[in-house]
Homo-oligomer: A and B are copies of this chain.
Amino acid sequence: MLAREKTHMVHVGDVAIGGGAPVVVQSMTNTPTTDVEATLSQVARLRDAGCDVIRVAVPTRKAVAPFGVICAASPIPVIADVHFDHQIAIDAIRHGAAGVRINPGNIGSLERVDRVAEAAGEAGVPIRIGVNAGSLDPEVASRADLDLPERLAASAVGFVAHLEGQGFSDVVVSAKAHDVPTTIKAYELLSREIPQVPLHLGVTEAGTMLQGTVKSAVGLGTLLSEGIGDTLRVSLTADPEQEVRVGWEIISSLGLRRRGPELVSCPTCGRTQVGLIPIAEEVGRALEGIDAPITVAVMGCVVNGPGEASGADIGVACGKGEGVIFRKGKVERTVPEDQIASALLEEIRAGL
């Protein structure tokens, strides 16, 4: 477990963010909010995939009433995502939002922000101040003395200071850009300038599956490995369930949280004498249905195979046309190639 910076703890429904709580995985629905059934069905799928908190866009006043129905029926806390119209944010809070995200760049005057904070304070729900490089407050955006990460940070810090001056400190902050170095630097500035405020990490508009996964993993992984970040949302132009899967892979890779098994499998090379890729893929697919935090090694040759396989809970080290199955370092049995995947799965199930 990496040392993480200690912030205030904020509560979104029954989920704690910051103050030493585990990193919270978020996503956002992409169904029309007015379609309550489709949205709730997506929320249920996202919860099953490991989503802790869900954000739902409330783009119009007409969407507020269905949003309230979604909040009441959702199995996980729901945050309202509101742009332009502060009255929608206030109404969403009154309809049961567990939190509200507003963007200082487009919500209007500080007076309007204060009205939202009043409603949030009355309801006891936090506000996420979500700054975005694509929609910066024009006043900050024009400051030639600051580079983009500094503008992102300055915008967020200004709003936090304003709200704290009004007696409202139940806030989470984000400052997203689609450029990874900009995102990293903006969050590093935030963690120095407002160390008490929980940070919501994200690389925005990161792109389709492969590019978006890599940009998010590099950006969020770098920050988390520095101890920065209390909650995250991976942004992908893909099914939101993939955002949740990638989010979990990022925090699991750093040992910050663990969900289900880990598969240690070697890249193949000219030494491999079995069809390892399909075996690893079959085992990987089967592991998706298992919640236990076991480590499973699928290794193709004698170089690192026996060492890794015996260090795992269950493992196989493959030789020419066969595989040696290990359990906690002890050889269980040797099976021919076409039985490796099934034997490994049998051993995994037997050990649960």
A4-12, A207-215, A327-335, A340-348: which lies at the interface: A207-215
A89-97, A108-116, A164-172, A246-254: which lies at the interface: A246-254
Q: How far is the CA of A227 from the CA of B39 in the complex (A)?
A: 43
Structural contact, B266 and A235, CB atoms closer than 8 A: yes
Structural contact, B267 and A28, CB atoms closer than 8 A: yes
Task: Render A29-41 as a binary contact track against B, CB cut-off 8 A, 1 for contact.
Answer: 1111100000100
Structural contact, B237 and A2, CB atoms closer than 8 A: no
Within residues 97 to 147 of chain A, which ones have a CB less than 8 A from any CB in chain B? 103, 106, 132, 134-135
Task: Render A263-281 as a binary contact track against B, CB cut-off 8 A, 1 for contact.
Answer: 1111111111000110011
Q: How far is the CA of A235 from the CA of B272 in the complex (A)?
A: 14
Give the residue name and chain of the B residue nearest to A203 (CB). Answer: B253
A218 touches which of B59, B254, B269 (Cβ 8 Å): B254
Contacts of A210 in B (CB 8 A): 213, 245-246, 249
Structural contact, B265 and A39, CB atoms closer than 8 A: no
Contacts of A31 in B (CB 8 A): 270
Q: How far is the CA of A103 from the CA of B304 in the complex (A)?
A: 11
Answer whether residue A63 sits at the interface, using C-beta atoms and an 8 A cutoff: yes
Answer whether residue A313 sits at the interface, using C-beta atoms and an 8 A cutoff: no
A264 touches which of B29, B205, B266, B272 (Cβ 8 Å): B205
Structural contact, B214 and A250, CB atoms closer than 8 A: yes
Answer whether residue A47 sits at the interface, using C-beta atoms and an 8 A cutoff: no
Contacts of A255 in B (CB 8 A): 179-181
Structural contact, A237 and B28, CB atoms closer than 8 A: no
Structural contact, B134 and A308, CB atoms closer than 8 A: yes
Give the residue name and chain of the B residue nearest to A221 (CB). Answer: B218
Answer whether residue A219 sits at the interface, using C-beta atoms and an 8 A cutoff: yes
Answer whether residue A152 sits at the interface, using C-beta atoms and an 8 A cutoff: no
Answer whether residue A243 sits at the interface, using C-beta atoms and an 8 A cutoff: yes
Contacts of A214 in B (CB 8 A): 213, 217, 221, 246, 249-250, 253
Instruction: State the majority secondary structure of interface residues on A.
Output: mixed
Q: How far is the CA of A277 from the CA of B243 in the complex (A)?
A: 14
**Beyond A59-B271, A255-B181, is A307–B134 a contact (Cβ under 8 Å)?**
yes
Structural contact, B134 and A304, CB atoms closer than 8 A: yes
A271 touches which of B57, B180, B218, B222 (Cβ 8 Å): B57
Answer whether residue A236 sits at the interface, using C-beta atoms and an 8 A cutoff: yes
Give the residue name and chain of the B residue nearest to A243 (CB). Answer: B267
Contacts of A207 in B (CB 8 A): 262-265, 280, 284
Structural contact, B217 and A213, CB atoms closer than 8 A: yes
| A-B contacts, 27 listed (Cβ < 8 Å) | A30-B269, A57-B271, A59-B301, A132-B303, A134-B305, A178-B264, A180-B255, A181-B225, A205-B266, A207-B264, A207-B265, A207-B284, A208-B265, A210-B213, A210-B249, A211-B263, A213-B217, A215-B249, A217-B217, A217-B221, A218-B224, A219-B253, A221-B221, A221-B222, A237-B268, A237-B298, A238-B267
